[in-house]
């Protein structure tokens, strides 16, 4: 293991190391620096800051490759709320099935909650071979610390090779904690997952450097390999009621409960807005709208189509529409049946979030706009003329 050491004969108690430590792990005691090893992350900031070379980090490289032969299975965290499985779970099960087939292993679903055993049948129908079920009042409400403690115990007991979770608020808060606890690598916000057939390891693809490149990341030295995956970038696994699977019931005592945290209440967002991540039709506006009031034109078209209104980052940054409408790398990833881009130039950061849409219609007065390269149907013209005419035609067709 790596270690850190302070040479007391060199330390003058200047406190420079205290100021630069991001983990607040260093204090000055009796005119000497003291490191709290429980807090220290071995980042090395203190070593660089010390002018007296009083701090040293020794990093030990592994000389023996670990044996991962005991690690089997591709696990999916079956996120649920009030007994309803999140749709991203079914997307992950579809991908997990393919990964497991390439590795000649099983697909596992990890289901925690209270009175949720009925959900196991649906998870099996969607591709799970095993459902690790923890049905207890302890897990009635999602508390990251409690879920982390329980799943870490399952990981140590069953040794999964891969763990996948949706890149949701819940998924992100959970698997990062698990990765730290089991000392595993984690790739966030993946848009692609594959198996390297030669090395038998998971290849995780995600946008990097502002979406300008697609990075491929591997975790060859640690297990399990872990990733969160964006919603709507993979097709859902279709249910097969004839599939058979095993439900493995797991029980936990109160030692998994973090007494520092208590669930008080869950307040749902009060809005009538259609969730763009779930919408079948999305009408999106970009910089070409010119002003917030012009989103009314898109709202009328979206209403006529029973769809949702999206926006590019430029429109959100301009304050024309709330962030919850943003589509793209730093917003929502969507996969509607029809995506209508109005006045959207089509920068790579935006395309990352919508290019898997079934049908893309672009309306832009610039014939060289990048959006036309991914569009199934492109209309070169003034959106302020075309969109109202389109809305009028749709309304008339429904009379």
Q: Which residues contact 102 (CB under 8 A, 6 or more apart)?
A: 195, 197
Structure-block tokens of residue 97 = 């099935």
Q: What is the CATH number of the domain that holds 47?
A: 3.30.70.20
In a shared domain, residues 78 and 226: yes
Distance between CA atoms of residues 121 and 242, nearest Å: 10
In a shared domain, residues 108 and 237: yes
Distance between CA atoms of residues 31 and 33, nearest Å: 7
In a shared domain, residues 211 and 115: yes
Distance between CA atoms of residues 202 and 75, nearest Å: 13
Structure-block tokens of residue 281 = 């039709």
What pLDDT is recorded for position 82?
A: 86
- Do strands 107-113 and 74-77 pair parallel, antiparallel, or not at all (unpaired)? parallel
In a shared domain, residues 11 and 98: no
272 occurs within a structural domain = no
SS3 content of the chain, % helix, strand, coil (to 5): 30, 25, 45
Helices then strands, counting H and E runs in the chain, come out as: 10, 21
What pLDDT is recorded for position 191?
A: 86
Given 211, 241, 256, the domain boundary residue is 256
For the chain, give the mean pLDDT: 89
In a shared domain, residues 96 and 140: yes
What pLDDT is recorded for position 256?
A: 87
68 occurs within a structural domain = no
275 occurs within a structural domain = no
Q: Give pTM, 2 decimals.
A: 0.67
In a shared domain, residues 178 and 252: yes
Distance between CA atoms of residues 108 and 90, nearest Å: 12
274 occurs within a structural domain = no
In a shared domain, residues 169 and 227: yes
Q: Are 56 and 4 in contact (CB under 8 A)?
A: yes
Given 222, 256, 290, the domain boundary residue is 256
What pLDDT is recorded for position 332?
A: 83
Distance between CA atoms of residues 49 and 179, nearest Å: 29
Closest CA to 358 of 299, 245, 279: 279
In a shared domain, residues 351 and 288: yes
Distance between CA atoms of residues 202 and 204, nearest Å: 6
**Tally of domains in the chain:** 3
In a shared domain, residues 53 and 79: no
In a shared domain, residues 213 and 331: no
Q: What are the residue ranges in the chain where pLDDT is below 70?
A: 1, 60-65, 209-212, 268-274, 399
273 occurs within a structural domain = no
DSSP helix/strand/coil, 383: helix
In a shared domain, residues 218 and 307: no
What pLDDT is recorded for position 69?
A: 84
Domain that includes residue 200, residue range: 74-256
Burial class (CB in 10 A: 0-12, 13-18, 19+), 152: middle
Q: What is the CATH number of the domain that holds 180?
A: 3.40.50.620
H-helix or E-strand containing 311? strand 308-311
224 occurs within a structural domain = yes
Distance between CA atoms of residues 216 and 205, nearest Å: 5
Phi, psi of 194 (to 5 degrees): -145, 165
Q: Which residues contact 167 (CB under 8 A, 6 or more apart)?
A: 88, 188, 189, 190, 228, 229, 230, 231
247 occurs within a structural domain = yes
Distance between CA atoms of residues 16 and 33, nearest Å: 10
The count of C-alpha atoms lying within 13 angstroms of the C-alpha of 270, restricted to the half-sphere facing its C-beta, is 1
Axis crossing angle, helix 169-182 with helix 144-158, rounded to the nearest 10 = 50
What pLDDT is recorded for position 61?
A: 64
206 occurs within a structural domain = yes
Helices of type H across the chain: 16-20, 45-49, 87-103, 119-125, 144-158, 169-182, 295-305, 313-317, 348-354, 383-397
Q: What is the DSSP letter of 139?
A: G
What pLDDT is recorded for position 6?
A: 92
In a shared domain, residues 45 and 121: no
Q: Are 357 and 334 in contact (CB under 8 A)?
A: yes
Q: What is the DSSP letter of 273?
A: P
Distance between CA atoms of residues 112 and 89, nearest Å: 13
User: Which string of b and e fits 335-355 if b means at least 16 CB within 10 Å?
Assistant: bbebbbbbbbbbbbbbbbbbb
Distance between CA atoms of residues 362 and 144, nearest Å: 41
């Amino acid at each position: 293991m790596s270690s850190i050491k302070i040479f007391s004969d060199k330390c003058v108690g200047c406190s420079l190391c205290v100021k630069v430590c991001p983990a607040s792990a260093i204090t000055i005691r009796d005119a000497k620096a003291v490191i709290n090893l429980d807090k220290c992350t071995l980042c090395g900031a203190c070593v660089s800051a010390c002018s007296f070379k009083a701090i040293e980090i020794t990093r030990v490289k592994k000389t023996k490759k670990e044996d991962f032969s005991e690690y089997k299975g591709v696990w999916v965290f079956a996120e649920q709320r009030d007994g309803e499985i999140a749709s991203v779970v079914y997307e992950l099960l579809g991908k997990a099935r393919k990964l497991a087939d390439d590795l000649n292993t099983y697909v596992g679903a990890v289901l925690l909650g209270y009175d949720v055993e009925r959900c196991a049948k649906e998870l099996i129908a969607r591709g799970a071979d095993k459902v690790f079920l923890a049905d207890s009042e302890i897990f009635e409400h999602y508390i990251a610390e409690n879920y982390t403690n329980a799943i870490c115990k399952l990981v140590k007991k069953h040794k999964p090779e891969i763990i996948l979770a949706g890149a949701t608020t819940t998924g992100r808060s959970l698997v990062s904690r698990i990765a730290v606890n089991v000392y595993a690598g984690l790739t966030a916000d993946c848009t692609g997952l594959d198996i390297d057939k030669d090395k038998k390891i998971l290849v995780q693809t995600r946008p990097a450097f502002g979406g300008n490149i697609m990075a491929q990341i591997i975790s060859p030295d640690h297990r399990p390999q872990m990733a969160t995956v964006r919603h709507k970038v993979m097709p859902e696994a279709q249910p097969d009621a004839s599939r058979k699977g095993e439900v493995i019931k797991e029980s936990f005592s109160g030692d998994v409960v973090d007494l520092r945290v208590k669930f008080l209440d869950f307040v749902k967002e009060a809005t009538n807005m259609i969730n763009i991540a779930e919408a079948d039709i999305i009408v999106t506006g970009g910089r070409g709208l010119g002003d917030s009031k012009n989103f009314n034109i898109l709202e009328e078209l979206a209403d006529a189509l029973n769809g949702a209104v999206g926006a590019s980052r430029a429109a959100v940054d301009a304050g024309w529409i709330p962030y919850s409408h943003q589509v793209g790398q730093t917003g929502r990833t969507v996969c509607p049946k029809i995506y209508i881009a109005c006045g959207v130039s089509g920068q790579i950061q935006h395309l990352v979030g919508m290019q898997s849409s079934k049908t893309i219609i672009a309306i832009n007065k610039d014939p060289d706009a990048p959006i036309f390269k991914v569009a199934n149907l492109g209309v070169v013209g003034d959106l302020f003329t075309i969109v109202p005419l389109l809305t009028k035609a749709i309304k008339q067709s429904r009379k």
